[in-house]
């Protein structure tokens, strides 16, 4: 009896508290949302202020992670550099691939500026048509590209300057070179930080600078590769008997060294030991030398070059008595006796253009398409050598060594081809070599020859290289000669060179990369921000393979019917003469041929339409998946969470009643 009034007294109290608690809860909820908003803004402000330099690169190919070489270049900038990016947003709207590429360029530039400690100043411009910004972009030499017939140009280039008004530009960011974006930007910064033009010393017995030939002593022009080198680099000739390489030379190019004395070999060795960059071009048989008359008027028999003492010490294996032969890229030459001259594949002369033959990850070779060589040797890393041996140019797998004596004097391409047995391994024709190297002269300079005075040297002897040495070794000197990679023609008194191979670009690119710092040499290609639809591409290729055969059959039928129609229209009378009057049978045949042509063209259009429809259908499916699938998944997750919360609240609501009961 006493419990009844207590229950009745508590129920009204609960009813009077509920209306007061609701506004308080709403107030607390609003305050919580406001506090969360303030917290989010504060965290973002603090992160932007203190954590801007700390980033996480979650891309698959580490697109935004800079290499150690780039970081060292950025930290060593002595004076401020201003970098101006000119980008037309219309280019990204019309061609989306450029929008993604532009985003990557901007992000990478911000990363450069953050690591440079204020020494890189960034400026971004939107060039409008006929504006001052467009005029400045053109004045820097940036490339404007028309997007339609109105003549309006879009820009996507970069211009950078230092305090000395030195300029470096990237006229237009080509998507094909996106893999080398970091190298190009770092190279630009390095050149503005070190404006001195690199000097390349050339030591060779080949007539790369031209020579006096013939009984009248007429001069021959320089080789095209030498002309290109002088356009981009400061080139200085170095004597073959030099005792010390000049200290101002950054890169030494030694091409086809023959009979070099110990003093000269010691000079090359010490140049590498003190940090100089070396391009060594060897050859088991120089076709250029074999085609030139010797002192007695006959070609010389000694056509091989080698530096065994240096190569063995530095860990590179090379045999001057072996030539690389390649069946896949063999050049066709005329061979045989006078009565039976025929075209034969000469395996000792070949081009490298197949997949995997040219290193696509190296900035010097990444965009080259074809290299031509003649009687080339091959290289390898010696067992146990502590060097990094990176192939740049290789043969195809259908290659094998050929004794060099078979290509010297009077080679027989037919016999060489008949005896050639290709293996299943690529041979390395050119390679980068890096590592700490010992000197080939550990006991110091070689003694002077009897009766000769010891040469004066300004540099002390070094028994090991100062840090990692950087070399490029090429096993063919004939890739430098004009006839193997370029056609030179006279055009109204001027010599015009038309390359059919990338030999000249290979040499200039290698010298260019060697002339940079060690940080630049260590840079390699990166991934691309473009992620193609591989499934779409595979379906496109399969669809084309399925439909092209039918399309070709219909096209052939169409051509045959049209030819028949032309014959019927001409008409023929007696004695095979043309008759302008057509018989009813001929008219009926013409009408049938026309109907056949219309039907064939209709089927051809249907085939082409089916080809496009299947590809477009897949693209539509992928778009719907990207646009619809993700929101649907999020909505389903939200619905599931909602049901879970409702059930959880219902369960909690029942718990007090069960306890009261």
199-212+220-290+300-445+462-515 to CATH, choices 3.30.530, 2.60.300, 1.10.3470, 3.40.50: 3.40.50
Residue 615 exposure: Cα atoms within 13 Å on the Cβ side: 18
User: Which pLDDT tens digit goes with each residue over 517-528?
Assistant: 666 655 555 544
Query: Encoding tokens for residue 99?
Result: 């929008």
Position 645 scores a pLDDT of: 81
Q: What is the DSSP string of 485-514?
A: TEEEEEETTEEEEEESSSHHHHHHHHHHHH
Q: What is the DSSP string of 408-438?
A: SSS--HHHHHHH----SS--EEEEEEEE--B
Position 574 scores a pLDDT of: 44
Residue 289: count of CB within 10 angstroms of its CB: 23
Sign for the CA dihedral angle at 553, 555, 561, 567 comes to: negative
pTM: 0.63
**Residue ranges covered by each domain of the chain:** 68-191, 199-212+220-290+300-445+462-515, 534-660
Position 626 scores a pLDDT of: 66
Question: In Å, how far are 253, 382, 444 from 466, measured between CA atoms?
Answer: 20, 22, 16
**Of 441, 445, 463, 443, residue with least CA distance to 454:** 445
Q: Which parts of the chain have pLDDT scores under 50?
A: 1-17, 527-529, 544, 572-578, 659, 661
Position 13 scores a pLDDT of: 47
Residues in Cβ contact with 114 at an 8 Å cutoff, skipping those fewer than 6 apart: 52, 53
Position 51 scores a pLDDT of: 57
The dihedral over CA atoms of 202, 206, 208, 211, expressed in degrees to the nearest 10, equals 130
Position 4 scores a pLDDT of: 47
* 202 close to 236: Cβ distance less than 8 angstroms: yes
Mean pLDDT of the residues in the chain: 81
User: Which pLDDT tens digit goes with each residue over 215-248?
Assistant: 566 788 899 999 888 877 889 999 999 999 999 9
Run of H or E residues at 316: strand 316-318
CATH of segment(s) 68-191: 3.40.30.10
587 three-state secondary structure: helix
CA–CA distance, 114 with 64 (Å, rounded to integer): 13
Position 21 scores a pLDDT of: 60
CA–CA distance, 478 with 256 (Å, rounded to integer): 9
């Amino acid at each position: 009896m006493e419990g009844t009034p207590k229950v009745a007294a508590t129920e009204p109290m609960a009813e009077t508290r509920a209306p007061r608690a609701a506004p308080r809860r709403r107030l607390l909820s609003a305050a919580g949302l406001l506090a969360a908003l303030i917290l989010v803004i504060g965290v973002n402000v603090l992160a932007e202020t203190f954590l801007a330099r700390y980033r996480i690169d979650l891309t698959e190919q580490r697109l935004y992670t800079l290499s150690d070489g780039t970081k060292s270049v950025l930290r060593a900038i002595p004076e401020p550099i201003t970098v101006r990016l000119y980008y037309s947003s219309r280019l990204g709207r019309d061609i989306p691939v450029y929008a993604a590429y532009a985003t990557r360029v901007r992000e990478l530039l911000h990363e450069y500026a953050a690591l440079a400690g204020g020494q890189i100043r960034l400026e971004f411009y939107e060039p409008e048509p006929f504006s001052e910004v467009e005029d400045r972009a053109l004045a820097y030499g940036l490339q404007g590209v028309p997007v339609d017939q109105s003549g309006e140009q879009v820009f996507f280039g970069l211009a950078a300057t230092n305090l000395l008004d030195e300029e470096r530009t990237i006229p237009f960011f080509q998507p094909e070179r996106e893999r080398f974006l970091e190298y190009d930007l770092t190279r630009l910064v390095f050149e503005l930080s070190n404006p001195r033009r690199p000097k390349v010393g050339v030591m060779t017995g080949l007539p790369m600078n031209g020579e006096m030939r013939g009984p009248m002593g007429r001069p021959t022009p320089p080789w095209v590769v030498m002309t290109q080198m002088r356009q981009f680099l400061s080139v200085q000739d170095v004597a073959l008997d030099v005792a010390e390489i000049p200290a101002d030379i950054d890169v030494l190019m030694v091409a086809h060294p023959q009979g070099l004395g110990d003093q000269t070999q010691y000079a090359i060795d010490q140049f590498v030991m003190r940090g100089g960059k070396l391009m060594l071009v060897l050859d088991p048989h120089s076709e250029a030398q074999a085609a030139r008359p010797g002192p007695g008027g006959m070609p010389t028999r000694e056509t091989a070059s080698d530096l065994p003492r240096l190569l063995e010490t530095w860990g590179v294996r090379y045999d001057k008595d072996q030539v690389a032969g390649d069946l896949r890229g063999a050049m066709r030459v005329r061979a045989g006796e006078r009565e039976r001259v025929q075209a034969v594949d000469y395996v000792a002369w070949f081009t490298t253009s197949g997949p995997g033959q040219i290193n696509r990850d190296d900035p010097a070779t990444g965009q080259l398409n074809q290299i031509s060589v003649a009687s080339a040797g091959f290289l390898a890393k010696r067992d146990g050598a502590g060097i990094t041996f990176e192939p740049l140019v290789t043969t195809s797998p259908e290659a094998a060594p050929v004794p060099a004596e078979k290509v010297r004097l009077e080679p027989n391409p037919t016999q060489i081809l008949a005896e050639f047995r290709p293996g299943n391994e690529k041979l390395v024709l050119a390679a980068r070599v890096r590592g700490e190297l010992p000197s080939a002269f550990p006991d110091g300079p070689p003694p002077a020859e009897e009766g000769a005075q010891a040469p004066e040297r300004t540099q002390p002897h070094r028994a090991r290289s100062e840090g990692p040495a950087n070399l490029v070794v090429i096993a063919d000197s004939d890739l430098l000669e004009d006839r193997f990679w370029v056609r030179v023609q006279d055009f109204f008194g001027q010599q015009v060179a038309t390359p059919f191979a990338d030999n000249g670009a290979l040499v200039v690119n290698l010298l260019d990369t060697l002339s940079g710092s060690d940080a630049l040499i260590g840079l390699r290609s990166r991934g691309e921000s473009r992620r193609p639809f591989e499934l779409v591409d595979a379906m496109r290729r399969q669809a084309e393979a399925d439909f092209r055969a039918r399309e070709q059959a219909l096209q052939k039928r169409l051509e045959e019917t049209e030819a028949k129609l032309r014959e019927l229209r001409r008409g023929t009378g007696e004695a095979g003469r043309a008759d302008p009057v057509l018989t009813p049978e001929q008219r009926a045949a013409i009408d049938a041929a026309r109907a056949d042509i219309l039907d064939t063209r209709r089927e051809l259009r249907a085939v082409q339409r089916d080809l496009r429809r299947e590809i477009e259908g897949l693209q539509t499916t992928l778009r719907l998946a990207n646009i619809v699938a993700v929101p649907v998944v999020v909505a389903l997750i939200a619905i599931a969470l909602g049901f879970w919360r409702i059930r959880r609240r219902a369960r909690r609501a029942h718990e007090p009643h069960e306890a009261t009961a």
